[in-house]
A and B are shown apart, each in its own frame.
Chain A
């Protein structure tokens, strides 16, 4: 899917009187959707500032009488929010660097080298896109137990990298194929070797698709829950989604603090979304093309 097209394709119909009923209905529909899609999040934010009594009173739309910021401080103190956050950051960053590094090497080989098995390697990656990560949960657990990396961050990072590479190779090799051959032909004439061509010519022009790969990896890995919950058992190694889950199951009666912890858990992604909404939506469309 082309990523550059931003102009509206459909000719806009100028507002006319006879359309006004239809337009009103349309705006009602679009507003209802805004409410259904965003109100639960807003409700959670308000919920997180209420006392237990206010939450249980049935006044679901009422604002808290006095905002209970203490919910946040108790969430911060009793849950290891900062620890979880740093763990998630570490795991996600290493995964991102690993995916970018490994998949750009392979993509370069697939899209530019003259060799017999390029297509075969590509097919192998395409098959991998169809294999659900869940199916490897149990064998990976057995393998990791045997090589003694279960319950370490590596038991997350390695499969995360492996399962993100197919889509990354798909996106990157697709892009690299479109770079004109004349570029490296002239580079060879100038005496550059493959490594130089890769590092100083192909990589710099591939920054946009690499951004897409970064965004996809970030969203998928930052939010990953089931692998983290299965492979990690030590409290100080938990990533944010798993940490949020354990906090919620431990403090099941302090509703406000649970709300506060959920808001804190959602906050990093929401902040990034506010900053990069355009890039994220484009990246997610590119990521959906798999299959």
Chain B
């Protein structure tokens, strides 16, 4: 229960500076972009009101848009696939390793590096062997030279090369989160389970999994946010190319608006991006509320 009774002026002094800045820079832009999404406008000259034409064109006549949506969702799905791996590693670390913190912090290292460093590092690794690329050199060295690929310039492979970098960077984050979750499960639960005859993997199945449900939610939200952040990584590594092979929703928006100066069309894509985020958050929350009710 809040107790401080204060004047309206005091409330304004405490709340308004932050709230105004926040509303002006987060909500006003979204509203501006809803408005500009109804225009045909190159950012400089006259703008023309065209109603929902941009959305119509985007949803039904844009060959790049739906593949970009698919790539964005695939990013999230791939990131979610590594959650079980992270959980397994976290269980191993907390159960069998005496000083797990060193390993956890080592796995975490790639998470804190800038996407530019990560992107350029992997671009260098993916380079053809003749340009010093490590991956193809390793393949040559172990005698699998025929597996060498144009990892980032072959349209059929480039997207998977990008998924992999995201998986690599975020594995440590998911491991850390699952690990912290397991550490927070009270140990007397395991002791009680031991008396009832549940030990080892059986105890993990009946205790660790259900007790970690809230943690899975965090991981899944993180995987989803990560799939949005893949935007920066793609801009650094391929810029959406070759062709449109690695476009996600946000890179499509960036190329249309900032590079091609179709501001109205770009705003329509941005609006869709916001809707996708809001829907995903609601769906994730709804799903987990049901799960949590079942297990707690």
Q: Which residues of A contact B (CB under 8 A)?
A: 1-2, 5-13, 23, 26, 29-30, 33-34, 36-38, 40-41, 43-44, 47, 55-56, 58-60, 102-103, 105-106, 108-109, 111-115, 118, 121, 124-125, 128, 130-132, 134-143, 158-159, 161-163, 165-166, 169, 181, 184-185, 194, 197-198, 219, 222-223, 225-226, 229-230, 240-242, 244-245, 248, 255, 258-259, 262, 265-266, 269-270, 273, 277-278, 280-281, 284-285, 288-291
Contacts and interface: CB of A to CB of B under 8 A. Distances in A.
Interface in B87-134: 89, 91-98, 100-101, 103-117, 120-122, 124-125, 129-132, 134
A41 B43 CA distance: 42
Nearest to A285: B180
Contact of A30 (B89, B180, B183): B89
A279 to B, nearest CB: 11
B296 interface: no
Contact of A226 (B13, B231, B270): B231
Shortest 9 CB-CB distances between A and B: which pairs? A162-B25, A291-B221, A102-B18, A139-B29, A223-B114, A55-B132, A136-B29, A109-B14, A139-B32
Contacts of B195: none
A106 B232 CA distance: 31
B168 A36 contact: yes
Given A30-B97, A44-B121, A109-B14, A230 B274 contact: no
Contacts of B172: 37
Given A102-B17, A115-B11, A273 B109 contact: yes
B113 A284 contact: no
A91 B187 CA distance: 44
Contact of A10 (B17, B94, B222, B257): B94
A134 B125 CA distance: 28
Contacts of B183: 5-9
- Residue among A36, A135, A165, A284 with max Cβ neighbours from chain B (10 Å): A135
B273 interface: yes
Contacts of A258: 120, 124
B210 to A, nearest CB: 15
Interface string B29-54: 11011001000000100000000000
Interface size class of B (residues with CB under 8 A): 35 or more
Given A134-B273, A163-B26, A121 B15 contact: yes
Contact of A130 (B21, B27, B129, B281): B281
B114 A131 contact: no
Contacts of A222: 114
A60 B137 contact: yes
Contact of B121 (A40, A114, A161): A40
Contacts of A108: 14
10 contacts: A9-B183, A10-B208, A11-B190, A36-B168, A47-B132, A56-B132, A115-B11, A161-B25, A184-B3, A262-B117
A102 B141 CA distance: 56
Given A37-B106, A132-B277, A56 B130 contact: yes
A136 B137 CA distance: 42
A193 B296 CA distance: 43
B270 A135 contact: yes
Given A30-B92, A37-B171, A288-B218, A181 B114 contact: no
Nearest to B191: A11
B83 interface: no
Contacts of A248: 120
B138 A112 contact: no
A75 to B, nearest CB: 13
B218 A289 contact: yes
Contacts of B177: 285, 288
Nearest to A264: B117
A105 B15 contact: yes
Contacts of B25: 136, 140, 158-159, 161-163
Contacts of B281: 130, 291
Contact of B4 (A13, A37, A114): A114
Contact of B105 (A161, A184, A281): A281
Nearest to A197: B4
A6 B94 CA distance: 11
B112 A269 contact: yes
Contacts of A5: 183-184
A29 B14 CA distance: 52
Contact of B30 (A33, A131, A269, A290): A131
